[in-house]
Amino acid sequence: MPYEVVWVPIVDPIEDFERSPSLQNKFEALREPMPWYTVDSPKLIERHVVEFMRERWHFMNKPILVVLDPQGNEASLNALHMIWIWGTEAFPFTRAPTAKDSNVKLQMAYVGKRNHSHREQIRRISEAVRAENLSHSWAEPALMWFFWARLESMLYSKIQLGKADDHDEVRTSILLT
């Protein structure tokens, strides 16, 4: 890989981590299989570092992927959404558009709803789509979740690039789904 990843685990407030052996065990279970560099413990990250990340990088307790160029300058404040969409092909993870000519043939598929609380309704619709051979339907809930997570990542990527439109009908309907 032409890049390195460093995981900086933030636990705020840190006192929760220090008092909770189960949280410490969960951290170790996450850290152990990671192929990249990690900070050994959230306890090593000082409060002013967390504040810097909140102010400068807009960290709000959700994972972000800040990209620094070889000189240490910020190339992207959050490339995580690019990774969800393009995988490692998004490298060098800059703000420049990452769309490529992919020659993808269009198909239609029913992928449920973003809100999975309507499981029975989603199941009935999926069965009808398959039974009547209307198109494809993803029956696996994990695939539906992954679809909606990637779609949300595309939205955040569009917002980050400054191309979001508050009056975009497609965006509005996706957010209300």
- Which tokens hold the place of 168? 């975009």
pLDDT higher than threshold 60 for residue 97? no
- pLDDT average, residue stretch 159-168: 64
| More reliable by pLDDT, 113 or 145 | 145
Judge whether 46 and 32 are in contact, CB under 8 Å: no
- Region of residue 110 (left: phi > 0; alpha: psi -120 to 50; beta: else): beta
CB-based contacts of 121, cutoff 8 Å, min separation 6: none
Q: What is the DSSP string of the chain?
A: --S--EE----SSHHHHHH-HHHHHHHHHHHTT-SSEE-S-GGGS-HHHHHHHHHHH---SS----EE-TTS-EEES--HHHHHHHGGGGTT--SS-------PPP--EE---SSGGGHHHHHHHHHHHHHTT-SEE---HHHHHHHHHHHHHHHHHHHHTT---TT-HHHHHHHH-
Q: Which of 25-29, 58-62, 142-146 has the highest mean pLDDT?
A: 25-29
pLDDT in tens, 41-84: 888 889 899 899 888 888 888 888 888 888 888 888 888 877 77
Spell out the domain ranges in the chain: 6-90, 109-176
Average pLDDT for the chain? 75
pLDDT at 69: 80
